[in-house]
Amino acid sequence: MNYVRTGMLLAAMTALFMGIGFMIGGQAGMLIALLIAGGMNIFSYWKSDRMVLAMHHAQEVDERQAPELYGMVRAMAARAELPMPKVYVINNPQPNAFATGRNPENAAVAATTGLLDTLSKEEVAGVMAHELAHVKNRDTLIMTITATIAGAISMLANFAFFFGGSRNNPLGFLGTILMMILAPMAAALVQMAISRTREYAADRMGAQICGNPLWLASALHKIAGGAARVVNEDAEHNPATAHMFIINPLSGQNMDNLFSTHPNTDNRISALREMAAAGGFSETRNSGNDHFGVRDTQAPRDDTRRPSGPWGASRRPSGSDRTRRDKQRKPRGPWG
């Protein structure tokens, strides 16, 4: 159903684009607009990943530079039956992450230092699994196409402002004015609707990849809080890339309304908690400041059942283990 909905939204955006071209220049204008959009899509198909990574000053890392993060992504990529993507780190205090690339064979996942320093290993795993789900679902290509068409619609609207519409425009001068104002808004709404649809799908698949929906639920809660407090300067300068992040990186954009690029975080967490309950996972409060934890309050019946993620079952820590762990708790990210 999500794929059908996404296809319908893409068709609506394409129809809107062709309609604007017709209103500006008739049939010839519609054809020219399609050719321009095609050229933009071809360029975006091959270069969009490099452009986005450069906009956010992402640095590629290997197994020697970031062994825990790289090994984590490699294990979950294998679990998801995906080729190993390139791994990037963004030196940014806001906890966040995104995926890019035209296909699974040319994909990349990127995480900020704020995310790696703030979240636990299990929570980082949930986030990386979510991004790998975007790669597996080819959402990165879908979002590139929608962003390109939305940009082309805005360009056509600006063109109409300076050069006017076609004389054959059935709505006349008033139609041209309305098109200039409403067309970019309609394109943005469709783009945001597609983004929100794909986020829910990636949450579900990401929970399956990492093996525990509560890891991702807890991560979303922390990231949303961090994104609200910490300004992401690169994202503010490049707002067209906001829909790519796991949580909207722009300030003042955390409401689930028509102009939000992401679903409401509480709704996403609720869906993951329902998924966890259906799968036999339970949640408990941590001893720290977390809103809720990722530990299971019931011991599994055997060592092969849980957790089902790439790290397998772990033994219950002893008192001395817990003391030693508490002393080394901060920082909890791979850079400790």
Q: Are strands 108-112 and 97-100 parallel, antiparallel or unpaired?
A: antiparallel
- Helix, coil or strand: residue 270: helix
131 noted as active-site residue: yes
Q: Which amino acid is at 218?
A: S
Asked, for residue 84, whether it belongs to a domain, the answer is yes
The tokens describing 257, both together, are 């309304």
**182 vs 317: CA distance, rounded Å:** 59
Q: Count CB atoms within 10 A of the CB of residue 88.
A: 23
pLDDT digits (tens, 9 = 90+) for 243-268: 889 999 987 544 444 456 688 899 99
Q: What is the pLDDT of residues 15-49, one digit of tens each?
A: 777 777 777 777 777 787 778 777 777 777 788 78
The confidence band for 196, taking pLDDT boundaries of 50, 70 and 90, is confident
- Position 282 scores a pLDDT of 65
Distance between CA atoms of residues 43 and 48, nearest Å: 7
Question: Is 130 known to sit in a ligand binding site?
Answer: yes
pTM exceeds 0.85, yes or no: no
Other Cβ atoms within 10 Å of 279 Cβ, number = 15
The size of the chain, in residues, is 336
Say if 327 falls within a structural domain. no
111 located within any domain = yes
| Domain count along the chain | 1
Is residue 325 in a domain?
no
In-domain check, residue 326 = no
The answer to which of 86-90, 236-240, 313-317, 319-323 has the lowest mean pLDDT is 313-317
Whether 178 is covered by a domain: the verdict is: yes
Contact, 94 vs 246, CB < 8 A? no
**Boundaries of domain holding 185:** 2-268
pLDDT of residue 166: 54
Q: Looking at 60, 63, 123, 131, which residue is catalytic?
A: 131
| pLDDT tens column, 111-121 | 999 999 999 99
Own/partner pairs, 9-13, CB within 8 angstroms, 24+ separation: 9/146, 9/190, 9/193, 9/194, 9/197, 10/142, 10/145, 10/146, 10/194, 12/190, 13/146, 13/149, 13/150, 13/153, 13/187, 13/190, 13/191
**Residue 81 maps to a domain:** yes
pLDDT band at residue 334, thresholds of 50, 70 and 90?
Answer: low
Can you say how many angstroms the Cα of residue 18 is from the centroid of all Cα atoms in its chain? 28
Q: Establish if 131 belongs to a structural domain.
A: yes
The DSSP 8-state label assigned to residue 279 in this structure reads T
